[in-house]
Structure 1
Amino acid sequence: MNAQATIQDRRIVPVVVLDSVESASPLADALVSGGLPIAEVTFRTPVAAQCMQALSDRGDVLVGAGTVTSAELVDIAHDNGANFIVCPGFHESAVKRSLELGLPVYPGVVTPSDIARAMEYGLEAVKFFPAETFGGVPTLKALAGPYHEMKFIPTGGINSGNISSYLALDSVLACGGSWMVDRKLVNSGEFETIAHLTSEAVQLTQSS
């Protein structure tokens, strides 16, 4: 499974926080049902790695590891079936280790200097985070001028109301978002609602 090609094709990366391994499979069912078989599982809970493995074992979901801040977490993610790595900032050790393992990696950037560092590592796509806090669409338009060869995955404050404006930009590979996989919905077992919200999100990508 080519991670970047799948991300580019689907255009949304659901950013997931899982508090129990038992939630992983029904969440995956909801994402698949909604037409978006991707999950970026963040390292924000003690069971994150186990959840990655549970999703990976299914074989029908592209599994990413999010909130990766070290080479050690890259190894853990890789050992538990993650197909791509996402960092909140430019964590050099994580980027280096991901490249050593052949894993697509998307470090977080907000400045031209960040993008320049990513280019030095040969990266062709990066995470723009936190997108809305750092100027959103206007900032991305400005960055895409001198860095027209770079693709971005804006994340942070993306929702059903503003995602279309991001996806309309040629520089945007996909958007990261959590509104369709809200932690509260997952923990309360509202997987039908998640499937519905996911389906609505997919429809937004088709109209952009």
Structure 2
Amino acid sequence: MLSLPPLLSSVVKGPALLPIIQADTSEEAVAIAKALADGGIGSVEVVLRTRQALAAISAIRAELPELLVGAGTVLSADDANACKDAGAQFLVSPASTPKLLEAMIATGLPLAPGVATPSEIALAYEYGLREVKFFPAHLSGGIEMLKALSGVFQQVRFCPTGGIGQHNLADFLALPNVFVAGGSWLTPATLVKNKQWQQISELAAAATAIARQLKSAA
């Protein structure tokens, strides 16, 4: 059995928020990260959806050493290892398979594998994992599903992502089995395209205020 890495909840910094960064260049990624940090964010997830994602992780680590920087959309062992080499401090995947879970665990980095069904949660549980990403949260039943899962998987905590915004953030964070909320609502593509960094900072500050009222990361 693989040795389990530290829990993601034990390393996440700041409010219980995990904004997603998707950038076409490392410079853009750093600008987004700075805007989020100015709004009170302490942890970010750079998704592997652009060619410059790995470079973006390295650049943010170099420019903002106080920020916790993870990698998302990890789909393979190659992804997991490349992210670790780039300096990622945690890993997040959109789904779970035995090979992917084993590869992510083997890096020694904190992780949140993606789940959408009880069977996927059970798979992660069999590997000893007690923190997972619930994705896509809204389409998979949202708050009511998380409430239902809490009775069956009493030791599992979730990072819901997908369909979360300022309008329902408090409802998700109020759930005892949610340890952090993720999503892209703090980094809208239109604001990034137009380099409206102050507006991103304002969105982050508003979300930070909500999160700190309910729960903060360690």
Q: Could you tell me the percent identity over the aligned residues?
A: 38
Write the deviation string for residues 68-114 of structure 1: whole angstroms up to 9, x where unpaired.
10000001100101011111110433321221121112111111111
Q: Find out whether 1:35 has 2:40 as its counterpart.
A: yes
What TM-score, normalized by structure 1, do the two folds share?
Answer: 0.95
Inter-partner Cα distance in structure 1 for 2:138 and 2:82:
30
Q: What amino acid maps onto 1:51 in structure 2? A: A
Tell me which residue corresponds to 2:151: 145
Deviations 1:153-176 (Å, cap 9, x if unpaired)?
Answer: 000000000111111110001110
Query: What is the deviation of 1:9?
Result: 5.2
For residue 18 of structure 1, the aligned residue among 23, 34, 38 is: 23
For the residue of structure 2 that corresponds to 1:180, the secondary structure is coil
Name the structure 2 match of 1:155.
Answer: 161
1:7 matched to 2:15: no
CA offset at residue 8 of structure 1?
A: 7.3
Kindly provide the CA deviation profile for residues 108-155 of structure 1, in whole angstroms up to 9, marking residues without a partner as x: 111111111101111110000001011100000001101010000000
Q: Where does structure 1 differ by over 3 angstroms across 4 or more consecutive aligned residues?
A: none
Q: What residue ranges of structure 1 are gaps of 5+ in the alignment?
A: none
Task: Give the TM-score normalised by the residue count of structure 2.
Answer: 0.90
Matched, 1:202 2:208: yes
Judged with a 3 Å threshold, the aligned counterparts in structure 2 of structure 1 residues 143 and 136 are, in CA distance, closer, same or farther, namely same
Count of residues paired in the alignment: 208
Residue 183 in structure 1 maps to residue 189 in structure 2? yes
Could you say what secondary structure the match of 1:93 adopts?
Answer: helix
Question: Is the CA contact (8 Å cut-off) linking 1:70 and 1:91 kept in structure 2?
Answer: no
Residue of structure 1 in register with 2:100 after alignment: 94
Gapped regions of structure 2 (runs ≥ 5): 1-5
- Tell me what 1:109 maps to: 115
Indicate if the aligned counterparts of 1:34 and 1:202 stay in contact, CA closer than 8 A. Answer: yes
Q: Report deviation, 1:183.
A: 2.3
Q: Secondary structure at the match of 1:195?
A: helix
Q: Counterpart of 1:121 in structure 2: which amino acid? A: Y
Q: Structure 1 counterpart of 2:160, which letter?
A: P
* Cα pair 1:7 1:173 within 8 Å, conserved: no
Q: Structure 1 residues 156-165 or 88-97, which shifts more? A: 88-97
For 2:150, give the aligned amino acid.
Answer: A
